[in-house]
A and B are shown apart, each in its own frame.
Chain A
């Protein structure tokens, strides 16, 4: 094995997934190269199930992960539906991911322990929905407050362009005046403090908090006016988005310079320097986000609120630090209250959107969960650890299916399960494949399991393919000595089968740091000859559709 050559690739057909000369090397801790996969080629036709078998450590998982590009392979080509995945940039790859899903070996570990099943299964929908509509949170908020969202999105692309710089300007002026006019704040506070002793602090406190909250809400509105166009137009990366983003960027740059000179000329003292520094940072932050917004609308949408909160925080820190002893605490509690209200508002809106998305996702979630044979009633709000391994694996399958993928890569989905549950999952995968028209890559170490589910099986050893063929042929006439040994290793539920006579593979997989020369299997091969250590066997066809990479395959005369 350790076979090279791509004879087994079906050139005349158009495969859905085509992997050619895949190489994955890792850098080991000692700085050496781990040759996990070395020249692996395979193709999978639409609707076909490819089985991949091999020992632990032979590179099955590495191959699977290279196919989904995390991490990207060292070399080689991977084509999905004619698209070369290795040439996609991160963003393009991310957009391709929905059609290429994966199921993992450890069912429990592949579900986030802190999520409910509802959210675990619906998460793929959330990810793409949020992207689709900008921020659903903001959308729903605007919907609520007079359908501004609709209005502006439909025709106000030009006003948006004017609105954006205006919004930026007013925001920045607001910030600057708040930040630099310390005296006015102190007057305000003294006003707050003196009557507090007479009328009662709480009343005033609430009033003040409301006033502050209002100005904050105003600011949020302004910022949202900026974000809005991004969110609205996110579907089409139109020129409006870019315009808005760039105006935002220039305005904030302008503001930075403005702020800088103003601070420099009128203020002194370390705290003021530092506070201006913080403000500069905050504004710079906004600028960066605007820049990003040009490329990625929803990212700016989701982050602008965070930036706003961050700026408020910075201002607060500055005030609190700069004030004298007693006012400090008053301001501290005041701003804490304001923050509280603000966070609460944001959280509410956010929650609302979550709730909406949950509602929207519910039929889908129920559909896939039912499809994988889960009881929907009562399981939606439960956490992964409350389920058995088999159930958790069903949930994983449901999650993979919810995006309607074309190809699903199953990395040992049944190895951690009991035989009875294994049978359930294997049947389920077959059913799902039929129902959703899936193409599967099924990885396992047990040839009997692989044979049961596959249309074509590839046997892998130390990063290379030994033998490829239809499962029946592979079983009835295994050509590669390694395949033979794999077959013998399968535990037979048959007391007449004498396990003691079965040929056993000796020793361990050699280290992928220094794979053997020639045929990689030669160190453990019962048929090894001199030629095997010098010459690497090439793929050759032994029967129709049955390929082997061995100098002395079982049926060859030399072997006899």
Chain B
């Protein structure tokens, strides 16, 4: 009996250590990077960063130095603090945009996959209509009609991005929900008298959630890139608010003499997107291998 217990204990230890190992060092590196970035972005005001809009005379296009860790940009502003403040913009847009899409798209997908039939057809049409609008045209016309003075640009960005992410997320959830609804435990839950809402949220959602989480991370990464592209067109949050895309754009003319002006924000964007994708992929892999034993 005692021996049996011991064996069980060691087994548990083994399993936990294995799960950690299976995620790998890179995974944790990516998580730490994002954690540091998010922390800096949220507490940028209290942390000892320089004012991102202040120009330091005589430091124009300076490379990294002791007081300006990542160097200065074309007009002498501190790139490090601009990267950190730029992260605010990127992260807020990505996180809020994805969350809204997650809530709306997730509910639509769940309902469509669970109820099927007419509900499904209706909701799928709804999802598809969001896809037939050309994104750039939608975005530009929203700006033209609602925000010509660029006062509420952040809102428009989030709104557009959320709208565009609803359909992909909705589809993923719908497909997953359909697959899980086939399982007999769903019918079993119905036979014990559980309501549909309970079946959806308590039985199906926990099973759909893992793949949904990893997918949302990838959506988030995509949104960051798209924000960069929009900034490149000069349509993102206006100056002097720093955004990565805008910084890359502004650094372009100095590419030959001071490549770091472009490189630093580009690198942060690259690392962020890479980390998000990597974490998403790893989680997906892990959940899949777990689902295989289930």
A and B associate in one complex: yes
Q: Which residue of B lies closest to A106 (CB)?
A: B184
Contacts of B187 in A (CB 8 A): 65, 70, 102, 104, 110
* A100 part of interface (Cβ distance < 8 Å): yes
Contact A127 B96 (CB under 8 A): no
* A14 part of interface (Cβ distance < 8 Å): no
Contact A114 B206 (CB under 8 A): yes
Known contacts A385-B294, A396-B188; A329 and B203 CB within 8 A of each other: no
Contact A123 B152 (CB under 8 A): no
* A367 part of interface (Cβ distance < 8 Å): no
* B220 part of interface (Cβ distance < 8 Å): no
Contact A320 B185 (CB under 8 A): no
Which chain A residues numbered 194 to 208 have a C-beta less than 8 Å away from chain B?
196-197, 201
Q: How many residues of A contact B (CB 8 A)?
A: 50
Q: How far is the CA of A97 from the CA of B188 in the complex (A)?
A: 11
Q: Which residue of A lies closest to B192 (CB)?
A: A124
Contacts of A95 in B (CB 8 A): 193
Which chain B residues numbered 50 to 82 have a C-beta less than 8 Å away from chain A?
none
* B264 part of interface (Cβ distance < 8 Å): no
* A399 part of interface (Cβ distance < 8 Å): yes
Q: How far is the CA of A330 from the CA of B41 in the complex (A)?
A: 11
Contact A97 B193 (CB under 8 A): yes
Contact B44 A329 (CB under 8 A): yes
Contact A124 B193 (CB under 8 A): yes
Contacts of A109 in B (CB 8 A): 183-185
Instruction: Give A244 Cβ to nearest chain B Cβ, in Å.
Output: 21
Q: How far is the CA of A385 from the CA of B15 in the complex (A)?
A: 15
Contact A110 B191 (CB under 8 A): no
Contact A111 B185 (CB under 8 A): yes
Q: How many A-B residue pairs have CB under 8 A?
A: 108
Q: How far is the CA of A98 from the CA of B190 in the complex (A)?
A: 10
- The listed residue (B88, B192, B206) touching A329 by CB distance below 8 A is B88
Q: What is the 8 Å Cβ interface bit string for chain B, positions 88-106, against chain A (1 contact, 0 not)?
A: 1000100010001000000
Instruction: Give B204 Cβ to nearest chain A Cβ, in Å.
Output: 9
Contact A332 B193 (CB under 8 A): no
Known contacts A321-B158, A332-B92; A112 and B193 CB within 8 A of each other: no
Contact A101 B192 (CB under 8 A): yes
Q: How far is the CA of A437 from the CA of B216 in the complex (A)?
A: 51
Contacts of B188 in A (CB 8 A): 102, 104, 110-111, 396, 399
Q: Which residue of B lies closest to A119 (CB)?
A: B202
Instruction: Give B150 Cβ to nearest chain A Cβ, in Å.
Output: 12
Contacts of A396 in B (CB 8 A): 188
Contact A321 B152 (CB under 8 A): yes
Contact B207 A328 (CB under 8 A): no
Interface residues of chain B: helix, strand, loop or mixed (majority): helix
Q: How far is the CA of A97 from the CA of B195 in the complex (A)?
A: 11
Q: How many residues of B contact A (CB 8 A)?
A: 38
Contact B193 A123 (CB under 8 A): no
Q: Which residue of B lies closest to A108 (CB)?
A: B294
Q: What is the 8 Å Cβ interface bit string for chain A, positions 254-293, against chain B (1 contact, 0 not)?
A: 0000000000000001110010000000000000000000
Q: How far is the CA of A97 from the CA of B155 in the complex (A)?
A: 48
Contacts of B194 in A (CB 8 A): 123, 127
Contact B193 A110 (CB under 8 A): no
Q: Which residue of B lies closest to A196 (CB)?
A: B46
* B154 part of interface (Cβ distance < 8 Å): yes
Known contacts A110-B188, A112-B207; A94 and B193 CB within 8 A of each other: yes
* A68 part of interface (Cβ distance < 8 Å): yes
Known contacts A95-B193, A127-B193, A270-B147; A385 and B293 CB within 8 A of each other: yes
Interface residues of chain B, those whose CB is within 8 Å of chain A, are: 8, 41-46, 88, 92, 96, 100, 146-147, 152, 154-155, 158, 183-185, 187-195, 197-198, 203, 206-207, 241, 291, 293-294
5 A-B pairs with the lowest CB-CB distances in the bound complex, closest first: A110-B184, A113-B294, A124-B192, A97-B193, A321-B155
**In the complex, given contacts A113-B207, A113-B294, A321-B158, what are 20 additional A-B residue pairs having Cβ atoms less than 8 angstroms apart?**
A70-B187, A97-B191, A97-B193, A101-B191, A101-B192, A102-B187, A108-B294, A109-B185, A110-B183, A111-B188, A114-B206, A124-B192, A201-B46, A274-B155, A320-B96, A328-B92, A330-B45, A332-B92, A333-B42, A385-B293
The 26 sampled A-B contact pairs (Cβ below 8 Å) are A65-B187, A68-B191, A70-B190, A97-B191, A97-B193, A98-B193, A101-B192, A106-B184, A109-B183, A109-B184, A109-B185, A110-B183, A111-B185, A114-B207, A124-B193, A127-B193, A127-B194, A196-B46, A197-B46, A270-B146, A271-B152, A321-B155, A322-B155, A325-B241, A329-B44, A399-B192
Interface residues of chain A, those whose CB is within 8 Å of chain B, are: 65, 68, 70, 94-95, 97-98, 100-102, 104-106, 108-114, 123-124, 127-128, 193, 196-197, 201, 269-271, 274, 299, 317, 320-322, 325-326, 328-330, 332-333, 378, 384-385, 396, 399, 403
